Each structure stands twice: as structure tokens, then as C-alpha cells.
């Protein structure tokens, strides 16, 4: 097993591993590296949907998306390039924060990738939290924010009034490492609890901009056979749509997490 850092803030490429043939010691080492680097990439994999789901199940139960899922594999979502105007992932987010217990990690497996472009960007929210001013940390320490899937529901032509919603700490504690991470995102965070949306807008915009500063980021350039996993408890991600109509076909799964504290 070779571990090659993806960038200074986060991420690592793991070479020399077939994720379909892991012993307990290898899995424990991969989990340690996952908690350390927050994003892991395994290039050159050949996975069936069943093997993808079996690897994901090392970390827990698969989570179904409220609006998407493959017919034969409801725990997987098929992501295709349907054009920039119809792409629902062109924003910084942590997956499904509108759930009371959002997924702790996401895995993507690439079956097709564009020759150039179509990267996924990641941003380290532990560093983002550490680099807040002490005064702002004290202000945010006991605050919560409301997250909603209303905007996502509209994209899937679903009833926004019945979309999932949840309230989470603005700064959450990682349930395995104990680290503090900023936990808001432009895609789903609507307002602070007890504040109006208008009152929340200025501070949320400050946090959204701070959370995705370039020095917190890494990017992965996709190739067919790449398997990527990231920690939704401490990472934001963004699907960059700069590849026009070039094919990009990816299978996605999420693993059940705990209620953020």
C-alpha cells in the first residue's frame, strides 16, 4: 500500500490496493488513513455495484437518497452528465445535511470520465473552523442552523413543502476524532435557529466564503476506475462542471451517520 498526499490541506491517493480483497488489518489501516486525510482516492478499481456496496458496508448501513436511486440498486445513485444547466451538484455542500442524521461518508466510483475536466473539489472544514477568529468561534459555539432540501426537491419536481429538514450545530464535533468542524453549506443551510433569513444572510455568507478558501482545498481529476471516499463530517465538496457534453458516469453511495453534536 502506497499513500500519496493529494494536497497539503487534505486528501490522499492510495495505491496498490484492491478494495474487493481486503483483510481486517488492511481495512483498519484504510480507516485510520481516512480519519487522518478525510478524502481517499483508490485508482484503478474494477467494481460491480455489489462490490461497491460491499466495500461501503465496512463503514455501516447504506443511506437512500430521498429523490434518487437506481432501480436495481436503490442504495446507489447513478450520476450522468446531463448538461451544465441540469447538473444539481454545482455548489459547495456536505451530503444530505437536511437529514437529522446525515451520512458520515460518501463514495463515488467512476465508470466513465471526461478526458479533461469534471473534477471534484474538496474543502477541509476542520481547518476552516480552526482559522475562525476566537470571537467568532465563541459566538458560533452554541448556535444551530436549519438545513432544508426544499431547493433540491424543486430540481426533482417534488413537493418542497414535504422535503426533509433538520437543525444542526454550526460547529460540530467529529464523533470519532473529537475534532471541531464548521458545519454549514450554501446548498442546504437556510438560516440560524431563532434568526430570520434576512438576519442570517450576512453571517452565513461570511461563513460560506470562509469555508471554501483555496488554501483549504484539494481537487481530484477523475479517471475511469477511480473510487473516492470522503468524510461528510469534516469536508465540503463541489462537482465542477467544465467538461461540456463529454460523458461522465459515476455511481454514488452514502453511509449512515450519527446526529451531529
N- to C-terminal Cα distance for the chain? 34
Indicate whether 261 belongs to any domain: no
pLDDT at residue 71, as a whole number: 75
pLDDT at residue 159, as a whole number: 67
Q: Over the chain, what is the mean pLDDT?
A: 92
In angstroms, rounded to a whole number, what is the distance separating the alpha carbons of residues 111 and 190? 34
The pTM of the full predicted model, rounded to 2 decimals, is 0.93
In angstroms, rounded to a whole number, what is the distance separating the alpha carbons of residues 95 and 88? 12
Q: What is the mean pLDDT of residues 145-162?
A: 74
Question: What residues contact residue 237 under an 8 Å CB cut-off, 6+ apart?
Answer: 92, 93, 94, 106, 120, 121, 122, 123, 230
pLDDT at residue 67, as a whole number: 61
Indicate whether 209 belongs to any domain: yes
pLDDT at residue 149, as a whole number: 85
pLDDT at residue 9, as a whole number: 97
pLDDT tens-digit readout, 187-242: 999 999 999 999 999 999 999 999 999 999 999 999 999 999 999 999 999 999 88
Q: Give 93's DSSP letter.
A: B
Indicate whether 71 belongs to any domain: yes
Residue 155 has pLDDT above 70, yes or no: no
The range of the structural domain enclosing residue 61 comes to 2-255
- Provide the domain count of the chain: 1
Indicate whether 160 belongs to any domain: yes
pLDDT tens-digit readout, 55-110: 999 999 998 876 667 778 888 989 888 766 666 666 899 999 999 999 999 999 99
Q: Which three cell numbers stand for residue 176?
A: 470519532
The CATH number given to whatever domain includes residue 215 is 3.60.130.10
Indicate whether 28 belongs to any domain: yes
Q: Which residue has the higher pLDDT, 43 or 66?
A: 43
Indicate whether 186 belongs to any domain: yes
Which residues, listed in sequence order, are joined to residue 231 by a DSSP beta bridge? 105
Reported confidence tier of residue 50, pLDDT bands at 50, 70, 90: very high
Amino acid at each position: 500500500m502506497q499513500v500519496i498526499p493529494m494536497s497539503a490541506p487534505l486528501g490522499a491517493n492510495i495505491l496498490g490496493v484492491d478494495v474487493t480483497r481486503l483483510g481486517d488489518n488492511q481495512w483498519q489501516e484504510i480507516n485510520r488513513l481516512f480519519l487522518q486525510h478525510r478524502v481517499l482516492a483508490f485508482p484503478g478499481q474494477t467494481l460491480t455495484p455489489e462490490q461497491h456496496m460491499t466495500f461501503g458496508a465496512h463503514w455501516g448501513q447504506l443511506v437512500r437518497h430521498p429523490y434518487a436511486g437506481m432501480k436495481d440498486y436503490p442504495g446507489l445513485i447513478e450520476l450522468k452528465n446531463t448538461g451544465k444547466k441540469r447538473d444539481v451538484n454545482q455548489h459547495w455542500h456536505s451530503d444530505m445535511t437536511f437529514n437529522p442524521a446525515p451520512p458520515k461518508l460518501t463514495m463515488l466510483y467512476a465508470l466513465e470520465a471526461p478526458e479533461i475536466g469534471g473534477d471534484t473539489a474538496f474543502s477541509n472544514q476542520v481547518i476552516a473552523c480552526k482559522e475562525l477568529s476566537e470571537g467568532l468561534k465563541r459566538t458560533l459555539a452554541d448556535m444551530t442552523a436549519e438545513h432544508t432540501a426544499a431547493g433540491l426537491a424543486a430540481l426533482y419536481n417534488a413537493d418542497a413543502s414535504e422535503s426533509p429538514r433538520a437543525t444542526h450545530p454550526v460547529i460540530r464535533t467529529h464523533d470519532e476524532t473529537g475534532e471541531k468542524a464548521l458545519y454549514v453549506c450554501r446548498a442546504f443551510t437556510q438560516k440560524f435557529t431563532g434568526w430570520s433569513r434576512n438576519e442570517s444572510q450576512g453571517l452565513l455568507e461570511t461563513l460560506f466564503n470562509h469555508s471554501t478558501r483555496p488554501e483549504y482545498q484539494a481537487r481530484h481529476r477523475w479517471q475511469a476506475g477511480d473510487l473516492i471516499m470522503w468524510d461528510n463530517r469534516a469536508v465540503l465538496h463541489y462537482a465542477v462542471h467544465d467538461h461540456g457534453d463529454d460523458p461522465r458516469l459515476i455511481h454514488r453511495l452514502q453511509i449512515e451517520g450519527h446526529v451531529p453534536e
